[in-house]
């Protein structure tokens, strides 16, 4: 059995859905109801303090963190407009993430079959 299917973390994925905006246009957004996915891996990738010019930074007080989510693809109804929530056991906080890159399924073999996604923390 693959390591990517037996991770120590549980995440909640708010599935991508289509809806109408206030002008009647079809837009994609995360749903209001989450799907719990166990056996995942949440791996920290990077963190910065006010380094992204595109983000509003007030005297360097903005902190941005990126994580990599790895899980079994059959368990993860993940799309580009999904939202991911995870209770971080180290900081003891509920963290919310937007999809930054991916999701990318990999099915090279039964042992390496997984889905990966880069997430950016929403603050």
Reported as a single tens digit per residue, the pLDDT across 72-90 is 877 788 889 999 999 999 8
pLDDT score for 60:
55
pLDDT, mean over the chain: 83
Contacts of 43 (CB under 8 A, 6+ apart): 67, 68, 69, 70
| Burial category of 11 from C-beta neighbours within 10 Å (exposed 0-12, middle 13-18, buried 19 and up) | buried
Domain span including residue 8: 3-121
Is residue 73 within 8 Å of 105, Cβ to Cβ?
A: yes
Instruction: Reduce the DSSP state of residue 76 to 3 states and report it.
Output: coil
Instruction: pLDDT band for 4, please (50, 70, 90 cuts).
Output: low
Instruction: Reduce the DSSP state of residue 5 to 3 states and report it.
Output: helix
pTM for the whole structure: 0.80
Rounded-to-integer distance, Cα 19 and Cα 51, Å: 34
At 32-80, the pLDDT tens digits run: 999 999 999 999 887 765 555 445 555 555 567 889 999 887 778 888 9
pLDDT score for 87:
95
Instruction: Tell me the sheet residues that pair with 30.
Output: 16
Q: For position 77, which CATH number holds?
A: 2.40.10
Rounded-to-integer distance, Cα 7 and Cα 12, Å: 14
Please state the domain count of the chain.
1
């Amino acid at each position: 059995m693959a390591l990517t299917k037996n991770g120590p973390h549980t995440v909640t994925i708010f599935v991508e859905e289509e809806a109408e905006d206030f002008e009647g246009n079809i837009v994609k957004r995360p749903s209001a109801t989450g799907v719990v996915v166990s056996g995942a891996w949440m791996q920290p990738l990077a963190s910065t303090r006010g380094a992204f010019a595109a983000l509003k930074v007030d005297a360097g007080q903005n902190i941005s963190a990126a994580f990599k989510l790895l899980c079994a693809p059959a368990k993860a109804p993940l799309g580009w407009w999904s939202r991911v929530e995870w209770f971080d056991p180290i900081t003891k906080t509920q963290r919310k993430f937007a999809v930054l890159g991916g999701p990318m399924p990999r099915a090279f073999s039964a042992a390496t079959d997984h889905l990966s996604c880069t997430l950016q923390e929403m603050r």
